[in-house]
Amino acid sequence: MDAVVAGSAGGDRLMSYASVLVHVDHEAPLGGRCSIAAELADRFHALLIGVAAWAPMAVFPPAEEVSEKPAVGDFHLQDMKTLLDQKGKEFCAAFGTPDRRVEWRSILDFPTEAVARQARAADLVIVANLGESKDPFRALDPGSTILKAGRPVLVVPKGLASLTPRRIAVAWKDVREARRAVVDALPLLRAAEEIVLIEILEEGDENGSADRLKDVASHLARHRVVTVTRQVRPADVTAGDALVRFVKDANMDVLIAGAYGHSRLGEWAFGGVTRDLLAGSPICCLFSH
């Protein structure tokens, strides 16, 4: 769907996702996130781009072993490229239809770096919440991808193979990342049947929450997103755990959140909402940074 300008008094701009990029693990079966990416591509009449990457491992053996253990050669690179291209053929055969445009990209590079760069071609990036392996030469790091992509990143939990985004929760905190996430999620929010703005209050931050959420709801209403309710909950557990509990109890389909308001190192060392959601969310989370 191309962006057009509506004739309303506010000059509202209809936004959509014109291209959806999904990371494909070249060593695993085509996962649920690929099916979800195809569903969203159909929903928004978008181009579906599949990307698989695998970084060659440079080998620098001790000098006395040079003759016995040569560095990675062209033959090995060609083998890697062949495997990636085979996965591309599988992807295109599975998800290419007369009504769905599909594109494939094979890249000899670290998956996290490759997907972040290829995000330049997409409006929305889709990845798994955990890499199938911990090898950075083969596996994608979702947290680093969120930081580097410059695009909203939909993180899909393991075992989920379909997504109908009818019920959406927006995790609100009055920071830059959350404001960015709300704008990045507008195509999803416009199509939702129920939207809940939820703020997890930290101690000493009780005042002003009602005004903050009212402003966000009014902003969304000006973009024709009107099915919004507001909730404020005390942080009786960590904010991330409180959000996970809420989306489970409320049977939400998607959670929208800003990512890494603090440094990623600080989040992983001392705890943080993004870390908790990546590890524990049972539903898809759309993150913006």
Mean pLDDT of the region 14-24? 90
Contact 252, 169 (CB under 8 A): yes
Instruction: Identify the bridge partners of residue 127 per DSSP, sorted by sequence position.
Output: 155
Of 235 and 96, the one with more pLDDT: 96
Contact 146, 275 (CB under 8 A): no
Rounded to whole angstroms, how far apart are CA atoms 111 and 134? 12
Full set of structural domains in the chain with CATH: 4-156 (3.40.50.620), 167-288 (3.40.50.620)
Contact 199, 234 (CB under 8 A): no
CB atoms within 10 A of CB 65: 10
Rounded to whole angstroms, how far apart are CA atoms 106 and 88? 7
Instruction: Identify the bridge partners of residue 52 per DSSP, sorted by sequence position.
Output: 106
- The DSSP secondary-structure symbol of 108 reads S
Rounded to whole angstroms, how far apart are CA atoms 79 and 85? 10
User: Could you tell me whether strands 102-107 and 47-53 are parallel, antiparallel, or unpaired per DSSP bridges?
Assistant: parallel
Does the pLDDT of residue 6 top 60, yes or no? no
The reported pTM is 0.87
Does the pLDDT of residue 39 top 80, yes or no? yes
Q: At 1, is the pLDDT very low, low, confident or very high (cuts 50, 70, 90)?
A: very low
